[in-house]
Structure 1
Amino acid sequence: MNKNKPFIIGIAGGSGSGKTFFLNSFLHHFKNDEVTLVSQDDYYFPAGEMTQEENKLYNFDLPSTIDNEQFLQDIKRLVKGEVVYKKEYNFNNPLAVVKILEVNPAPIVIVEGLFILHFKEIAALLDYRIFVEAEEAVALQRRIKRDGMERGYAEDGVLYKWHNHVVPAYKEFLLPYKGTADKVVINNLDTPEDIIRITEEISKDLRPRYCKQS
């Protein structure tokens, strides 16, 4: 076993599960050089510029929309201790300034995304799997709020995507892997204290084993 190999944590969760808050809370327990993050959201194949109606109908919730080969290669490069440079995905927003992300290797690598357990070669690299979930009604309200505030989507478009894309994809490509998770986090209540407590427990266990203590 390679003692220098990073510990790889997979964090999966459906839309509106509160995965982003969980992730941010988890990262907060580590120093910058102790942990690095690779997000599936930065590996969408470019969909080209679309009208609002085309965007509504385009299904982003399919594994085929993700460049999983590049995703896999970049994770492997981090495992080898190499720096990864990646264009940030802008969700087809022509006004967005595209940033180049610099992802540095670290003792703990977090791989985050909807399909990380579905992509078999990526799943095989994970040392620890966390599955974040919420009741469907709770998740939908979070999605409506996020897409309205952050992306300017109309509610009817959000509902169309939810019923036709989001829920079917969740049931087919994520939910079947719930039983393979090392930890399932139920996140129905928007109470940060619960999530902070859970992430603190996990980080307290991992930091002494994988991060050099100063």
Structure 2
Amino acid sequence: MNKPYVIGIAGSSGSGKTFFLRSFLHHFLPEDVTLISQDDYYIPANTKTREENRLYNFDVPTSINREAFYQDIKQLFNGQMVYREEYTFNNPEIKPKMLAIKPAPILIVEGLFIFHYEEVNELLDFRIFLDAEESVALERRLRRDLIERGYDHDDVMYKWINHVVPSYKEFLAPYKPICDLVIINNTDDPKIIDDAANKISMDLREKKSDITII
């Protein structure tokens, strides 16, 4: 198959990446687009105690199996399926699924370090940066981690202050100027995200005539 058109999507924690991705994917037929997420390449930390897990920094580039992430992207370039166990953020109540990531004309690469990893950044045709004010992002992070991932409040705040914010400033914020599109999402207004997803999908129609825009 021809090289896919590769869209890189990164953003601060709590910037609304998940909602944006859902809105964006909604514009395409399943066979026309595929997603590979850096989150599924975390080096397992499930053998650590609760206290060790609280102190462990998941927000540094070395917490990801960088080589496997890159090689799987290249495998999709070559038209081959990728199989990867879903990462469940060490939540023992969630049984991980086996993900089957198929090659497609549009490849979305998502993750905190996708611009920092030079070999991944070089593969991207279009870069999207989602951002939000720190207070807004923290509120969203608390809502997600307390409810969806079963963390307690102290754990979330420790990681936010010591890991999340410093990592964002060092490994993501410096790449904001090189991105093709920056979306500021402070209001939780679905229209902002949906309008951006709609515009990008319409622009893609001109670049990829072999895909169907819904």
Q: What whole-Å deviation, never above 9, does each CA across 1:94-140 have from its counterpart, x for those lacking one?
A: 33212111000000000000000000000000000000000000000
> Which one of the candidate residues 89, 101, 123 is aligned to 1:91?
89
Q: Distance in 2 between matches of 1:35 and 1:163?
A: 36
Q: Distance in 1 between matches of 2:178 and 2:95?
A: 38
Alignment partner of 1:36 is 2:55: no
The aligned amino acid for 2:128 is I
Question: For the Cα contact (< 8 Å) 2:32–2:211, is it kept in 1?
Answer: no
Partner of 2:111: 113
TM-score (norm 2): 0.95
How far the C-alpha of 1:147 sits from its partner, in A, is 0.4
Mean Cα deviation higher: 103-112 or 93-102: 93-102
Q: What whole-Å deviation, never above 9, does each CA across 1:162-191 have from its counterpart, x for those lacking one?
A: 000000000000001111100000001100
Please show how residues 6-155 of structure 1 align to structure 2 within 5 Å. 6-155=4-153
Q: Mark the runs of 5 or more structure 2 residues left unpaired by the alignment.
A: none
Q: Distance in 2 between matches of 1:172 and 1:127?
A: 23
Q: What whole-Å deviation, never above 9, does each CA across 1:32-65 have from its counterpart, x for those lacking one?
A: 0010000000000111333332221111001000
The Cα RMSD (Å) is 1.3
Question: For the Cα contact (< 8 Å) 1:50–1:92, is it kept in 2?
Answer: no
Evaluate the alpha carbon distance shift between residue 113 and residue 213 of structure 1 in structure 2; reply closer, same or farther with a 3 A threshold: closer
Q: What is the SS of the residue equivalent to 2:6? A: strand
Q: Distance in 1 between matches of 2:194 and 2:184?
A: 13
Mean Cα deviation higher: 74-83 or 46-55: 46-55
Alignment partner of 1:202 is 2:200: yes
How far the C-alpha of 1:205 sits from its partner, in A, is 1.1
Evaluate the alpha carbon distance shift between residue 194 and residue 96 of structure 1 in structure 2; reply closer, same or farther with a 3 A threshold: same
Mean Cα deviation higher: 25-34 or 45-54: 45-54
Evaluate the alpha carbon distance shift between residue 172 and residue 38 of structure 1 in structure 2; reply closer, same or farther with a 3 A threshold: same
Q: Mark the runs of 5 or more structure 1 residues left unpaired by the alignment.
A: none
Question: For the Cα contact (< 8 Å) 1:45–1:66, is it kept in 2?
Answer: yes
How far the C-alpha of 1:208 sits from its partner, in A, is 4.5
How far the C-alpha of 1:211 sits from its partner, in A, is 5.0
TM-score (norm 1): 0.95
Alignment coverage as a number of residue pairs:
212
Partner of 1:185: 183
Question: For the Cα contact (< 8 Å) 1:72–1:122, is it kept in 2?
Answer: yes
Identity within the alignment, %? 60
Evaluate the alpha carbon distance shift between residue 185 and residue 115 of structure 1 in structure 2; reply closer, same or farther with a 3 A threshold: same
- Displaced runs of 4+ in structure 1, greater than 3 A? none
Evaluate the alpha carbon distance shift between residue 213 and residue 94 of structure 1 in structure 2; reply closer, same or farther with a 3 A threshold: closer
